[in-house]
Amino acid sequence: MSRAVIVFGGGGFVGGHLCARAMGSGWDVHIGEATVRDAPPGPAWHSVDIRRAADVRALVARVRPHAVVDLAAVADIDRAERERDLASAVNTRAAASIAGACATYGCRFLYLSSDAVFGGTAEHYAEEDATDPVNWYGTTKADGERAVTAACPGAVIVRISLALGFPVADGNSFLAGLEKTLQCGGELSCPTGEIRTPIDVGTLASCVLELCGGDLSGTFHLGSTDSVDRFTLSRRAASLMGFDETRIEPSRATGAEQGRAARHARGVLCVQKARALLATRFLTWEQSLQKAFEERPRKEG
């Protein structure tokens, strides 16, 4: 007997992979999005504005899913800084509404958060470390975590640093953006001081489904077993794409120094807790990058 899952934001980059993997694992998949876009074939599509709590509640009441995953977010850090009310509405208030609906109807709830909730000054971060965001995006995610926990105490909060992969049908991704820039003949600079623990989107999807199907609750960090700076990661990715990696130059500037919102320097998430409790295998950053290319969706036509 299949189990139902609602994925808010299921038409995006991470959502597309999660929905495809869920369908392959026997889940009855429902996608909740504000507008109907191209989506992985198979899921039931529901047009819903998650900023409208009544609409969210009505969808959860109608589907009565086993689990709900909230991937919907204003995730562009610079956009979140410019459009603060929208970022708060989606990343915080809507997340609380979804969590409340799940608590009412007895659904498991998973909220996708970010390493941006941390200040980036520590060597690494464990789940219980205090949040101290340096930008508005991180603030909305930290607020979202607290709101979700208050509305649905049994919720699962997943923090990631950087998802690696290519979209199934829609959505933005780091690798796709890098490839587009290089294909257009552009050169770019990447910071050497922004350290991350990336995770390939396939491993991320497996972890999320494992958490949806289990009985664990609380906060989990998902990522690679080691860390890498964005410059090194970008050069390695460019090489795998067949481009001259020297087209990517190092930059020591971050955030406001590049005309962007502030970025946390070290987004190094400790994954020991998740490795101990989940069956999904965790990889090094190089293995994660390689897997992202190996599992790249094929374009039809």
**163-193 pLDDT tens trace:** 999 999 878 899 999 999 999 987 789 999 9
**Is there a domain that residue 111 lies in?**
yes
Q: At what angle do helices 53-63 and 94-105 cross, to 10 degrees?
A: 30
Q: Considering its fold, how many domains does the chain have in total?
A: 1
Q: What is the CATH number of the domain that holds 43?
A: 3.40.50.720
- The DSSP-derived string for the chain is --EEEEEETTTSHHHHHHHHHHHHTTEEEEEEESS-----SSSEEEE--TT-HHHHHHHHHHH--SEEEE------HHHHHHSHHHHHIIIIIHHHHHHHHHHHHT-EEEEEEEGGGS-S-SS-B-TTSPP--SSHHHHHHHHHHHHHHHH-TT-EEEEES-EES--SSS---HHHHHHHHHHTT--EEEESS-EE--EEHHHHHHHHHHHHHS---EEEEE--SS-EEHHHHHHHHHHHTTS-GGGEEEE---GGGGTS----SEE-B--HHHHHH--SPP--HHHHHHHHHHTPPPPP-
pLDDT value of residue 257:
54
Q: Taking residues 255-275, what's their average pLDDT? A: 87
**Is there a domain that residue 241 lies in?**
no
Chain segment 222-234, per-residue pLDDT in tens: 999 999 999 999 9
**Is there a domain that residue 249 lies in?**
no
Q: Which domain holds residue 267?
A: 3-229+261-294
Chain segment 4-61, per-residue pLDDT in tens: 999 999 999 999 999 999 999 999 999 999 876 655 568 999 999 999 999 999 999 9
pLDDT value of residue 39:
53
**Is there a domain that residue 234 lies in?**
no
Chain segment 119-161, per-residue pLDDT in tens: 999 999 999 999 999 999 999 999 999 999 999 999 999 999 9
**Is there a domain that residue 152 lies in?**
yes
